[in-house]
């Protein structure tokens, strides 16, 4: 069986001793997460455990993940995803940024423009998350999303510069949702949030550039009040230990 805690420690060490110690403290403080990572019986429990650890370490929040999951279910359903494919999308939304465990806090929270080296470090997080999840039962579709969640329709994304339909469908759904959430979220101190109208205009403008144009067209058919309500309600799930 894969020793996920050992893998997490190794990746955390890339960001320094403080990050590794913080990870160990977070695992001790959340015995439910520790058990899920050790036993790996249920993919949902493993994904939730990893998301709670990300939140405990301060580089993502449970509210952020909950909004992504809710919007992925809405858009994924509109796009015809169902069963394992839709589950993989939602699990991937929970763990998409787990590779940031290996990126130093000063880089993740930088308010100024990143250097080329720092940008490369940030861009490594998808590959790190992909490596972390290798061989974890039931998380194979989520693992592919983790690798490709920054690929853009026109091929300008990373890490592989995939273009159009060569990007897995779940990742194409996720990048639209993640971009929207990044624009409207108000819990990031170094970035001003936009209103829903501005976010909507940008997604429409970048259809066929960053985003799958067919998915943008499907997204536009979703009831706006239902979509925007996700940002307003308490979307937290039972991920708390």
**Distance (Å, whole) CA 117 – CA 155:** 22
Q: Where does the pLDDT of residue 110 fall: very low under 50, low under 70, confident under 90, or very high at 90 and above?
A: confident
Domains of the chain (ranges, CATH numbers) = 62-232 (1.10.3210.10)
What is the value of pTM for the model shown? 0.92
CA–CA separation, 52 and 196 (whole Å): 28
pLDDT tens-digit map of 125-136: 999 999 999 999
132-181 tens-digit pLDDT = 999 999 999 999 999 999 999 999 999 999 999 999 999 999 999 999 99
End-to-end CA distance of the chain: 24
Collapse the DSSP code of 158 into the 3-class scheme (helix H, G, I; strand E, B; otherwise coil) and give the result. strand
Query: Is residue 153 classed exposed, middle or buried when 0-12, 13-18 and 19+ CB atoms within 10 A define those classes?
Result: buried
pLDDT band at 105 (very low <50, low <70, confident <90, very high): confident
């Amino acid at each position: 069986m894969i020793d996920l805690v050992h893998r997490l420690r190794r990746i955390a060490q890339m960001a320094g001793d403080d990050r590794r110690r913080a990870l160990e403290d977070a695992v001790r403080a959340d015995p439910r997460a520790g058990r899920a990572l050790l036993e790996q019986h249920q993919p949902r429990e493993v994904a939730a455990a990893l998301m709670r650890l990300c939140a405990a370490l301060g580089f993502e929040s449970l509210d952020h993940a909950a909004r992504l999951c809710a919007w992925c279910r809405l858009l994924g359903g509109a796009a015809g995803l169902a069963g394992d494919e839709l589950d993989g999308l939602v699990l991937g939304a929970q763990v998409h940024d787990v590779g940031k465990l290996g990126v130093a806090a000063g880089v993740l929270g930088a308010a100024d423009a990143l250097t080329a080296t720092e940008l490369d470090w940030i861009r490594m997080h998808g590959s790190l998350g992909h490596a972390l999840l290798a061989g974890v039962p039931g998380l194979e579709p989520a693992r592919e999303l983790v690798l490709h969640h920054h690929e853009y329709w026109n091929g300008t994304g990373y890490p592989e510069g995939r273009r159009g339909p060569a990007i897995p469908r779940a990742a194409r759904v996720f990048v639209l949702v993640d971009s929207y959430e990044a624009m409207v979220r108000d819990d990031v101190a170094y970035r001003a949030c936009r209103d829903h109208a501005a976010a909507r205009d940008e997604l429409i403008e970048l259809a066929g550039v960053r985003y799958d144009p067919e998915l943008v067209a499907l997204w536009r058919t979703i009831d706006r009040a239902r979509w925007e309500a996700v940002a307003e309600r308490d979307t937290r799930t039972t991920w708390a230990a």
